Amino acid sequence: MDITERESSEIELIVLKNMAQQSRDSMIYLNSEFGILYVNKAAEDLFGWTLDELRGKSIDILKVDSLSEQVKDKIKDILNNGGSYSIDSLSEKKEGNTFFCELGFYRFYDDNGNLCGFLTSQRDITQRKLAEATLKESEEKFQALYENIPSGTLIIGQDYIIEDVNHKTCEITGFSKEELVGQLCDILCPKGSGSKKCPIWVEGLNGFQGMDTTIKCKDGRKNPILKNTKRISLHGKQYILESFQDINERKQAEEVMLHAKLVAEEASRAKSEFLANMSHELRTPLNSIIGFSQILNEGTFGDMNDKQAKYVRNILNSGKHLLHLINTILDISKVEAGKMELYCERFYIQELLDDLSIVIHPMAVRKNIRFEINELTNNAQVCADKTKLKQIMYNLLDNAVKFTSFEGSVTLTLELIDSELQVSVSDTGIGIPRDAIDIIFKPFKQVDPSTSKIYGGTGLGLALVKEFVGLHKGRVWVESEEGKGSTFKIRLPQQEPLN
């Protein structure tokens, strides 16, 4: 019997088995009815079954989810027509663990060219599927974030073509996504792209931030925006990522505020001019009243009886009080109008204290108030506007004496701290409520309007203190506890003297 052909077939089978065993991929030979004829070592390792356990069994033992009877019929048809077939499916190992498997089906024939079975390869793609699922989830999250961020965003290519826009861009501009994608960016850019001179591409910039500009809208408006741009790389290509915020409402608010500011400044200027003019008109007759009252009070034109002398003194005192009030109003108006100037000079601290003591000491004696001065500067020489500094200290001391009860105490302390003059005026008076501290430095404001009837005053003294301290580029503050007294402090930096 001639057995040459049989030996040749056996040799070919041995070669095929050796090739299958050396393959890294799992390989299974099936007959035309999907029965298992042979599996290689990689298949045994992948599924956990041995060749002896699988030989003669249906491929269904591997529990490939996607391999239904309909799919098997489809595979047969495709392979019979010369094609190949591949699927991704969940499968199951012998111990019951599931995994993603990539299966490829290929035909093979007998010596007569008849289809006798299939060769199927398998590969564990669980990690790839998990990575794809993670990537897909990340892409979905990014897309959701991209579409819902509160700022408009667009991606522009190096050819100045808009590649993508988010929902907010469409909301701000009025264009639909379809109307923008694929268009030159000058459909939105007010400067246009005709020049092809975007600084990111032409000058090699990485981007810029906080550009206050506008964006063109579908209805022809130019909407104010605050724009940031960044050069990015996607899939090996360079793009511009542009993000912008709609600041139209902010711009409108700024315009309203600017208009209100101008109106307020104009009203303040008109008020200051009115007060200045009125003060001038009032001071002229007041000076006459005060002058003639002084002449009558001195008896220049003859003696007066007691009642006449009393009335004249009342006229004189009231005139001086009114003149002081008018001068204070005029000073505040000048400061607010920017017309008040400093006349700085060098002088010794003791010069101020001598002048103030002459005025304050009698006021304190009348209420039996203990008035003390702590001069801790060793009579240092300072440079400031002497007249205004004296007015500051007088106003603070006058208030301290005014709001301190009989037999209380008022203390004036002067010291140099970091070359700056600090003046403190402490009293044991009625104190200031915490919620009233912010208003006491405003003109005509008092802690309690009823106190003006008891203690007198117009609410201008502290306002003038604040303005004069501000002219010296200093600061003023108060520490107080209601019912226990107050301490007003000012800190003035040294000024440059006038030449």
**pLDDT confidence of residue 425:** 94
pTM: 0.45
Structure token digits, residue 156:
């522009």
306-336 helix and 248-297 helix, angle to the nearest 10 degrees:
150
CA angle 403, 408, 409 (to 5 degrees): 95
**pLDDT confidence of residue 8:** 46
**pLDDT confidence of residue 281:** 76
Structure token digits, residue 494:
């040294």
The stretches in the chain having pLDDT less than 50 are: 1, 3-9, 452-453
Structure token digits, residue 23:
């393959």
**pLDDT confidence of residue 131:** 80
**pLDDT confidence of residue 256:** 87
Residues facing residue 28 across a β-bridge: 39, 120
Q: Tokens 């004189």 identify what position? A: 316
CA distance 154 to 167: 10
Are 247 and 224 in contact by the 8 Å Cβ rule? The answer is yes
Phi, psi of 124 (to 5 degrees): -75, 115
CA distance 191 to 48: 68
**Residue 395: closest CA among 380, 409, 412, 383:** 412
Residues facing residue 488 across a β-bridge: 425, 478
**pLDDT tens for residues 396-422?**
999 899 889 899 999 999 999 988 999
CA distance 342 to 215: 50
Cα–Cα distances in angstroms (integers) from residue 323 to residues 116, 279, 281, 287, 359, in the given order: 125, 9, 12, 8, 18
**pLDDT confidence of residue 20:** 60
For residue 39, which amino acid is it? V
**Which positions ≥6 away from 107 have C-beta within 8 Å?**
79, 80, 84, 115, 117, 118, 119
**pLDDT confidence of residue 447:** 64
Q: How does DSSP assign 5-49, residue by residue?
A: HHHHHHHHHHHHHHHHHH-SSEEEEEETTSBEEEE-HHHHHHHS-
CA distance 389 to 401: 18
Are 244 and 151 in contact by the 8 Å Cβ rule? The answer is yes
User: Strand, helix or coil at 407?
Assistant: coil
